[in-house]
Amino acid sequence: MTRRVLLMFAVLALIALGLTFYALHLKRKVARDEQLAAEQQRALAPLTNGPPTPVTLYIASDSDGTLRRTRVNVTLPPERTERARAVLRALFGEYLQSSSPHPIGAGADVRDVYLLGDDTAVVDTNAAFGDAHPSGVLAEELTVASIVVTLNANDSKIARVKILINGQERETLAGHADLRRFYEASNIGQVVKDLQ
Amino acid sequence: MPLSGRRSRLAWAITAGLALLFAALLTRQAGVHAQAPGQNQLTVYSPQTSYSVPLLDVNGQPYAGLVELLEPLGSVDARIDGKKYKLHFTPPGGRPLEVQFTGGKDKGKVRGNGYKLPANFVLQNGRGYVPLSVTSEIISRLLGSDAQLHSAARRLFIGNVQARYTLELHKDNPSRLLLGFSSPVNPSIATEPGRVRLTFRREPIISSGPENVPYSDPLISGVNFSEHDGLAELDVTGTAALMANFADGGRTIIITGAPAPPPVAQEAPPPPAPANPQNPSPQPRQPAGPRFLVLIDPAHGGNDIGAAITPSLPEKDVVLALARRVQHQLANRGIAAGLLRNSDIAITLDQRATWTNAARPALYIALHAANTGQGVHVFTAMLPAANLSPQGFLPWDTAQAAFLDLSGSVAGSVAAELESRKLPNATLLAPLRPMNNIAAPAIAVEIAPPAGNVDEIASAAYQEQVAQSIAAGVAAIRAKLPEVRP
């Protein structure tokens, strides 16, 4: 075996090694993309069967920093917390579309909504909502405000809202918006007027 | 040689080659990522300002970031294209000067002239680093003024900023040692039995004579000067407890014997003597007067990069550059301003609030940046109005409620200045931490690209306009903001 063949063999071995790493990387990327797509699909899926009901959503727009009121038809479960969750999933579904004016983290979902007494809702979101949310004072404020006023618009008894990430209290959403506090719908209402 | 033996050798050669290759790669990565401890920083003294630059340890050699080094001295625009690093530095009132290097190479250009580094240029996390030893020469070439590096002490002096001290021993009873400085100084002072240590972090103090001066005095034994870790120290030793007093507006520090502790059972003090204008008795030190201090909080820092404005431009860098511009613009208007961070360090939200409240500023300004939206947003805290007195105890979670009216006035004043400069702007309430915990008038300013072009957010012209608007807005409302007694 000549020296040239040895050299060629070594080069080929290196190329093969590099291609193996690249193939592994691509495989992981495809699996990740498929998982994200499945999660997004799941976020849009209705929770129950039945006739669609019109609900009010406050949709944020990053380009002009506004919240716009819109109505969509959603199939709502009879139970109050499940209805609130379905409304928020419809809101997240709008944000998860590729053409969304206010994209949030891919795979974001609402795990549960709990009611404390009659007027306080605790919204438990999944980890993707907090981990992949775009960072920024206005971007995060728009998300929080749209959640609070959308809940209040569809269930006027909900006057206070607390947001959890994966069952836990977090200091901020993505570095800015305070998630340690309860948000009063009446206070957010003033912000929404400023943002409209 | 048999074929199987050749194959075996071939396999061993390939394995050994690959192992060496990976080992070299791993060693290189480990060397570059080994961060120096927090104390490893360079202090830069220039005629305009003093600041710290964190140093990166690369294979045992200290490196300084070019942006961190040059940004306080002028405007900086750095770009990376693959391994090529290009930086434009514009000194105040000057024209842009170019610095070019390539990651992993030791050759580059400074102001169009070839320049060879003593070690390879390092690119890491979108930042360019040069060996510490060349920082003075690069600054000299860019600024056209002399720069001296005290490499072991991690101190860099630009121009003739060095300040020397004089020593004067008065053999009174007790003896007094007078340390004289050409301009006011404000060292931190630590005392322990028989010793007073003065630590100068911001002052470019250097030794003008021997670093160790012994005295044959019953009280003062000697003075030792040292510089290390980006600071200077004067260590005064004695045979008894010593104390330090400031005089002459901070230009003189008097070291003398500390008074003996009072006896446990004290007699009632004698009644004060009637005032005698012919023979005035020593007056007690007057408390410091009120002062107007603006505290600027560049958000994020360290591992908390904030928003990724672009893949190579984190929010933490944008806001630090803007904070320095705002500080400069406020100084131009005669308003003292401090920065909560002046380098790439991590500070928690609670620390920001705690430090701000301890400094008792007349105004707190948090700075943020985002790559969504357009223009400048001025925020005040989203809190319900509360009937709280700013002078009383304030609840931590809603301390800002006592200052909402003043905060709103400042936000309006800044927005008016932004409007007059035709910068798109809006004034909003925001649930932004740590604004609610600030016991002073407080606003937050978030800048977004002026017209949708994300790169513009870091442009000197845009940031300068925003900084001027903020400073002018503060200056316009200053009369309405109460000065605070430190």
- Read off the pLDDT of residues B396-407 as tens digits, 9 standing for 90 and up: 888 998 899 999
Fold classification of B293-480 is Aminopeptidase (3.40.630)
Using the Cβ of B66 and the Cβ atoms of chain A, whether some distance falls under 8 Å is answered with no
Q: Is A91 a domain residue?
A: yes
Q: Is the pLDDT of residue B36 over 60?
A: no
Average pLDDT on B30-36 reads 37
Kindly list the domain boundaries of chain B, sorted by start residue: 41-158, 163-257, 293-480
Q: Is the pLDDT of residue A42 over 70?
A: no
Give the H or E element holding residue A38: helix A3-44
**B159 touches B93 (CB < 8 A):** no
Q: Are strands B127-131 and B147-150 parallel, antiparallel or unpaired?
A: unpaired
Using the Cβ of A12 and the Cβ atoms of chain B, whether some distance falls under 8 Å is answered with no
Query: What number of other Cβ atoms are within 10 A of residue B120's Cβ?
Result: 20
CATH class given for the domain over B41-158: alpha beta
According to the model, what pLDDT value does residue B278 have? Answer: 39
Q: Give the ipTM of the model, two decimals please.
A: 0.74
Q: Is A7 a domain residue?
A: no
- Which of the following CATH numbers is that of domain B163-257: 2.60.40.3470, 3.40.50.1100, 1.20.58.340, 2.40.50.100? 2.60.40.3470
Q: Is the pLDDT of residue B37 over 60?
A: no
Of A134, A137, A190, the CB nearest to B368: A137
According to the model, what pLDDT value does residue B24 have? Answer: 46
Give the H or E element holding residue B164: strand B163-170
Q: Determine the residue among A5, A137, A162, A186 to mutate to test chain B binding: the one whose Cβ has the most chain B Cβ atoms within 10 Å.
A: A137
Q: Is A8 a domain residue?
A: no
Q: Is the pLDDT of residue B414 over 80?
A: yes
Q: How far is CA B384 from CA B381, B395, B429, B455, in A?
A: 9, 14, 11, 37
Does the distance separating the beta carbons of B368 and A136 come in below 8 Å?
Answer: yes
- Read off the pLDDT of residues B267-280 as tens digits, 9 standing for 90 and up: 333 333 333 333 33
Domain with A63 in it: 46-195
Using the Cβ of A65 and the Cβ atoms of chain B, whether some distance falls under 8 Å is answered with yes
A-to-B residue pairs, Cβ atoms closer than 8 angstroms: 102
Average pLDDT on A55-80 reads 91
Q: Is A128 a domain residue?
A: yes
Using the Cβ of B350 and the Cβ atoms of chain A, whether some distance falls under 8 Å is answered with no
Total structural domains in chain A? 1
- Read off the pLDDT of residues A98-126 as tens digits, 9 standing for 90 and up: 889 999 988 999 999 999 999 999 999 99
According to the model, what pLDDT value does residue B156 have? Answer: 94
Min Cα–Cα distance to chain B from A4, Å? 12
According to the model, what pLDDT value does residue B284 have? Answer: 40
Of A17, A135, A138, the CB nearest to B306: A135
Q: Is the pLDDT of residue B18 over 70?
A: no
**Whole-angstrom distance, CA of residue B253 vs CA of residue B198:** 10
Q: pLDDT tier at B17 (50, 70, 90 boundaries)?
A: low
Phi, psi of A188 (to 5 degrees): -65, -30
Does the distance separating the beta carbons of B433 and A176 come in below 8 Å?
Answer: yes
According to the model, what pLDDT value does residue B27 have? Answer: 40
Min Cα–Cα distance to chain B from A103, Å? 10
Q: Determine the residue among A17, A61, A146, A178 to mutate to test chain B binding: the one whose Cβ has the most chain B Cβ atoms within 10 Å.
A: A178
- Burial (0-12, 13-18, 19+ Cβ within 10 Å), B158: buried
- Name the E strands within chain A: 52-61, 66-75, 110-116, 120-125, 160-165, 183-184
Q: Determine the residue among A17, A62, A176, A186 to mutate to test chain B binding: the one whose Cβ has the most chain B Cβ atoms within 10 Å.
A: A176
